[in-house]
Chains A and B, each alone.
Chain A
Amino acid sequence: MGADFSMQTTTAAPKPVLADPSRTPRPRQGPLAGVRVADFCWMGVGACATRLLADFGAEVIRIEDRNRLDMPRRLPIYKGEARTYGEEDANPDPNKGGLFNNYNRNKLGVTINMRSPKGRELADRLIAASSVVTENFAPGVMERWGLTYERLNQLSPEVIYARMSGFGHTGPHHEHRSYGPIVQAVCGLSYISGLPGEEPSGWGLSYMDNEAAFFNASALLTAIYHRNNTGLGAEIDVSAVEAGINLLGPILLDVSVNGRSTRNGDYPTGNRLEHPNAAPHGVYPCQGEDRWIAIAVFDDAEWRGLVSVMGAPSWTAEARFATQAARFANQDALDALMGAWTADKDRYELMHRLQAAGVRAGAVQTAEDTNDHDPQIAGRGVFFEMDHPVIGEARFEGTPIQFSQTVQENWRSGPLLGEDNAHVFKGLLGVAEDEYEELAAEGVI
């Protein structure tokens, strides 16, 4: 997510939801079945990382604070209302947020007030019953609650403790405030994106929220695999900025080995590709409003395919376009001619004609397009639907890995606030009925 929202809110305990047997927690299947995760994550990165564990059988128990609602519960991504994410309600319904549902399917949800001693005691009991603990608070928050790795290891010997942050848990900037766009700026990914000589166009999404989540998930899976082999737990420190630097690619070596300066005005290169010398390599207008097609030509064979689809207009035979090197050198002219040719074409029809001729081409698709008009995605079942007690039927983005054996078990949409308190506290931890009532009455859960 893009901005800083940290308002304090108070949300009353929700009315009891009608018991729905299909939402009752059950034994899970998958490679992570039997792994219980005390999940202190919130926001995008953490929730997206532990979603990958929950999808494949881990019993992920989200620990939330009624007094400080997770931002995805607050952001106004609601059915039937098109608002920017900054236009949130003053007192939003915590169970209505689409983004929370999207990030937290297949997880359990409990509430604990970590500011109260009884709450922290309850959290200790949950940690003791878990073998993995995850968090992505600002550094220092878990320590404030006494939840250091040493302490967790006492509570749950050989625990795996995953700590996800923007800058890592050491170093002079470890307390810097961090959101996707800040990570993208600091690690260099924003700067290397844009037209030469113009302000960077950067990113229109928190790409690094997702990518940091994926790397955190793979670090967790690696640590679990290693513990299965050796019996050893671990503390994991992943800095999103450091992950982002790993995603810069060879430009980093061009700078470190060749001393290239990226501040000379010829870098970044917009949609053009320096290596290899592809041309044309761009995004060209199509019929309709803000409709585009991407076309990439890497060699003579692909150029011949493109020329044949164009019907071999005379300009394609000019010497300045005769070789790949010549086309690369004359891209200004080439791009203008390409754009004039594509402008009145339908983006899909053109893409299919070009692909049939062996030319790399793809329509620029919106989320609507990939969800509703993409036969390749539809046929492979990437997106799916599940019901939610407040939101109703909702669509989800699956984990795009087709396994021949492993099952992604989608058993439930995102938890309502505190939905699994009774199951977890009474059922798993053995909290007695009267104590449970007391904890609820005192606002501990």
Chain B
Amino acid sequence: MAQAKHPLSGLKVVEVAGDVAGEFAGLLLAQMGAEVLKVEPPQGSPTRAVGPFAKGEAGPDTSLAFWYYNSNKKSAVAELSSPAGMAALRSLLKDADVFICTLQPRELSALKLDLAALTEAFPRLIVLSVTPFGLTGPWVDYKSSDLIALALGGPLNSCGYDDHSIPPIRPGGDQGYHSATSFAQIGVMLALLERQKTGRGQLLDISMHEACAVNVELANPYWFYPKVNVQRQTCRHAQPSPTQSALFRCADGRYVYFALILAEPKAWNALVSWMDSKGMAVQLTEPEFSDVAYRQAHFHEVQELVECFFLVQDSHDAYLDGQAAGLPIGVLNAPEDLFGDEHLKAREFFQEVEHEGLGKVTYPGPIYRFSSFGGVPRTAAPKLGEHTAEALADGARTLATEDAAS
């Protein structure tokens, strides 16, 4: 077989996605070389209306949220509620490999779009449905959002502060939608592998609710086995019962995460000699502290000394010195700190993308690196309808735009 430069080169993906879950799935496929065509209504995908906007100027082509999740795609306009628009979509699906669709069952019915029937009509087509609750079940028509999904699925219950008069706090960055994307991406790759064997596509039904329900890490095994619910704690693992703080404030007002482990001699000795090297180990070098039981009995004393130790150091120094001492410690970087990070620079992680009228914009680089092939370089998200003419067959295009204009 011919050697493709990118693993998904030659694959055609049609995307009808109005939320981050579907759009991120399309992006991940595009970054591996698939040709992803985003089909949008004449007014544009609803995600084009979500800020922040470049230089604060709202408009269909300036949403940074849209840019982030729609790089490397093409955009064609078709009004799916019109017969012509639907005909245009069907003509696109005829030679597509993957159809990404975030419409909920009620919206599908309104459009008379039957996903199972599509896999009959186009036997090689992989239909990837990504919705808040899936295509079946009593909550199928319920509405969701990132916050709602994280709440109902369980991750939110583990996140927040020690003080339980404060509600659980949503972790940042649309992680409910991202959880759904993770399984969407894995599902598509498995379906492509299955198609290599059988020649047949199929329907994949991804529920954001379920993706969140299995993305709670220890909370599930803690329920499967001891039958306990974990309790949220400030910036550290939710646990069956409270554990000590792991967030330490530094001289620059920033924080490091450091799990103070008293029971492990190697980690304890590394900590004490690090503190001692700064003249701050105080009584911790006394022989009685070499006994685990003694350390545990004097835990508050230890915790206070460690708090003081971090309070006189800058966070980045504490991070690097602590890591050099072999301790598991991480600095809480803010987004703006990442662009100057020496490690990420050495790995040439961030990518510059040319944006018309704006110059170079810095985006995150690839999630995975392969030795013998690669992803495609990041390119700017399409303007609304930028590729309508080239993407839609002549007849369908005329009909789609006529309908859209009427």
Contacts and interface: CB of A to CB of B under 8 A. Distances in A.
A258 B203 CA distance: 41
Contact of B224 (A5, A98, A184, A194): A98
A200 B235 contact: yes
Given A82-B241, A250-B65, A262-B335, A239 B347 contact: yes
Size range of the chain B interface in the assembly: 35 or more
Given A204-B160, A221-B189, A275-B52, A230 B169 contact: no
A51 B362 CA distance: 35
Contacts of A401: 183, 186-187, 190, 204-206
Interface residues of A, number: 167
A2 B134 contact: no
Contacts of B143: 355, 358-360
A310 to B, nearest CB: 18
A396 B223 CA distance: 10
Contacts of B187: 401, 403
Nearest to B179: A211
Contacts of A242: 344, 347, 349, 364-367
B141 to A, nearest CB: 8
B152 A249 contact: no
B221 interface: yes
Interface in A310-346: none
Contact of B32 (A198, A222, A232): A222
Interface string B195-234: 0111010111111011101111111111111111110111
Nearest to A256: B362
Interface string A229-242: 11111111111011
Interface stretch (B324-332, B388-396, B397-405): B324-332
B56 interface: yes
Interface in A272-321: 273-276, 278, 281-285, 290, 292-294, 296, 298
B370 A182 contact: no
Contacts of B235: 181, 190, 194, 199-203
A386 B170 CA distance: 33
Contacts of A274: 51-52
Interface stretch (B35-43, B75-83, B242-250, B281-289): B242-250
Nearest to B228: A82
Nearest to A55: B190
B168 interface: yes
Contacts of B185: 214, 218
Contacts of B222: 77, 82, 367
Contacts of B101: none
B178 interface: yes
A78 B226 contact: yes
A32 interface: yes
A268 B172 contact: yes
A16 interface: no
Given A250-B65, A367-B222, A188 B183 contact: no
A39 interface: no
A255 interface: yes
A345 B65 CA distance: 36
A437 interface: no
Nearest to A285: B167
A247 B175 contact: yes
B310 interface: no
B151 A6 contact: no
Nearest to B206: A401
Contacts of A179: 259, 328
Nearest to B128: A401
Contacts of B372: 232-235
Given A205-B158, A273-B147, A248 B182 contact: no
Contact of B1 (A32, A202, A230): A230
A365 interface: yes
A113 to B, nearest CB: 22
A402 B264 contact: no
Contacts of A2: 236-237, 246, 259
Interface in A29-54: 30-32, 44, 52
B306 interface: no
A189 interface: yes
A203 B240 CA distance: 16
B361 interface: yes
B327 A177 contact: yes
B158 A204 contact: yes
Contact of B219 (A258, A366, A382): A366
B171 A207 contact: yes
A294 B219 CA distance: 20
A192 interface: yes
A91 interface: no
Nearest to A215: B367
B98 interface: no
B358 interface: yes
A427 to B, nearest CB: 25
Contacts of B160: 201, 204
Contacts of A191: 255, 332-335
Interface string A193-229: 1110011111111110111001111110111111011
A203 B338 contact: no
Given A4-B264, A4-B267, A77-B225, A207 B186 contact: no
A369 B155 CA distance: 12
Contacts of A209: 217
A119 interface: no
A20 B339 CA distance: 56
A106 to B, nearest CB: 14
A111 to B, nearest CB: 23
Contacts of A258: 52, 54-56, 64
B333 A185 contact: yes
A218 B67 CA distance: 23
A232 B202 contact: no
A379 to B, nearest CB: 5
Nearest to B243: A84
Interface stretch (A59-67, A128-136, A164-172, A418-426): A164-172
Contact of B28 (A52, A98, A218): A218
Nearest to B32: A222
Contacts of A78: 225-226
A252 B319 CA distance: 22
A278 B51 CA distance: 12
Given A206-B217, A215-B368, A405-B202, A177 B326 contact: yes
B3 A400 contact: no
B193 interface: yes
Nearest to B174: A249
B213 A370 contact: yes
Contacts of A230: 1-4
Nearest to B259: A3
Contacts of A271: 147, 167, 169-170
Contacts of A71: none
Contact of A365 (B67, B151, B217): B151
Contacts of B154: 365-367, 369-370
Given A364-B157, A365-B153, 18 more contacts: A3-B328, A32-B190, A32-B193, A86-B263, A102-B220, A177-B328, A181-B235, A181-B330, A185-B256, A200-B332, A221-B186, A228-B193, A230-B4, A234-B370, A252-B338, A363-B152, A380-B136, A405-B194
Nearest 4 CB-CB pairs, A to B? Answer: A192-B172, A185-B330, A202-B235, A204-B158
